[in-house]
Amino acid sequence: MFYRKKIGHLTKAKNLGKLYITILFIFTFLLILFNKTDYIVVNKIKSLSTDVLNPISGFITSPIKVATQAVNKINEIRYLQQDNLKLKEEVKRLKKWQILAIKNQRENNALKKLLDSTTTNISIIKTTTITSQTPDIYARSIFIKAGVNHGVLEDFVVVNERGLIGKVISSTENNSRVLLINDQNSSVPVTSLSKKFNAIIKGTADGKYLTSTFVKDEKIPKIGDVLLTSGNARIFPSDMLVGKVIKVSEDGFLALPYVDFNNLEFVQVINTK
């Protein structure tokens, strides 16, 4: 009697285990199936996982990050004298530019008054820090410390002092994920300073450059042309610095982004009014 009960209990446990594995497989299948459909449950799972996993991984990797920062600091100290000389040269160069910029700004303001134009159509939502960055294995994205509670929503644009960084692709209460412009799935409509051509660019596989996926009327830019957002997609505001053309071929062109994606610290979330 006792043995029969025990065997019955074991069989029950085994069946429960099998049922659990079956449910797990069904759940896996459903997640994969609904992933591309923007199903609300899948999005919830994604944002919840990001919110939970990021702080944990950040805490575990913090000793290594501190160690690497220390190594970087030591390297910086080693080259302090050389950097100082470089900076002195740069200050001289920038002072000339500053004089020119002030002159241009005065001229701009005077012309704007004459034309009665509005100054800008961009509103700054939040200036924030980066909590973590994904490694260069697949997607290139950053996580910022601002979410729905701070007014940051999907499709908002992220910039820094050097130019365009990317756009918000998902947003939770206090965090957001930003897809960088050097990601292979990003798509940024660009034009040149002279507005002579229009193209769409995305990141290359190694993430170092931006490559054209579409060039309107086959009008290829010249090497050295500055790329600005054209504002065609209505996600990115127009005239934001993107990159500089470094290679031109028959199929398209290659550009170097202005933003240094390896040294991002502070970013600004903006939105077009």
Partner 1 sequence: MLLSRYLVPFTYYNLILIILFSLSVSSIESFSIINLISYALLHFTIIYLGLYYYRRSLYSIYFLYGLGFDILLINQIGPHLFIFMTLLFFFNLIKKYFIYFSYLRIYLLILFIQLLIILLEMLLTDFFFDYDFNLDKYVKFIFISIISSYPVFFIFSKIDNLQ
Please report whether residue 65 would count as binding partner 1 according to CB under 8 A.
yes
Joined together, the tokens standing for residue 217 give 């009327």
The residue count for binding partner 1 (CB under 8 A) is 48
CA distances (Å), 133 to each of 3, 86, 93, 111, 127, in order? 57, 29, 33, 42, 17
Task: Decide whether 182 or 191 has the Cβ nearer to partner 1.
Answer: 182
Task: Decide whether 184 or 271 has the Cβ nearer to partner 1.
Answer: 184
Kindly indicate which of the ranges 66-74, 108-116, 192-200, 250-258 contains the residues binding partner 1, using the contact rule CB under 8 A.
66-74
CB-CB contact of 202 with 188 (8 Å): yes
Task: Decide whether 75 or 81 has the Cβ nearer to partner 1.
Answer: 75
Single residue of 122, 153, 160, 170 touching partner 1 by CB under 8 A? 170
Please report whether residue 80 would count as binding partner 1 according to CB under 8 A.
no
Q: Using CB under 8 A, which residues numbered 229 to 258 contact partner 1? A: none
Q: How many CA atoms lie within 13 A of 244 on its CB side?
A: 7
Question: Which of 251, 250, 194, 203 has the alpha carbon at shortest distance from 227?
Answer: 194
For residues 227, 230, 233, 234, the Cα torsion angle rounded to the nearest 10 degrees is 130
CB-CB contact of 188 with 203 (8 Å): no
Task: Decide whether 31 or 215 has the Cβ nearer to partner 1.
Answer: 31
Single residue of 2, 3, 4, 64 touching partner 1 by CB under 8 A? 64
Task: Decide whether 24 or 124 has the Cβ nearer to partner 1.
Answer: 24
Single residue of 8, 9, 11, 20 touching partner 1 by CB under 8 A? 20
Taking 3-state DSSP, the helix, strand and coil percentages for the chain, each rounded to the nearest 5, stand at 45, 25, 30
CB-CB contact of 266 with 162 (8 Å): no
Binding residues for partner 1, rule: CB under 8 A, are 17, 20-21, 24-25, 27-28, 31-32, 35-36, 42, 45-46, 49-50, 53-54, 56-58, 60-61, 64-65, 68-69, 71-72, 132-139, 141, 169-170, 177, 179, 184-185, 205-206, 262-263
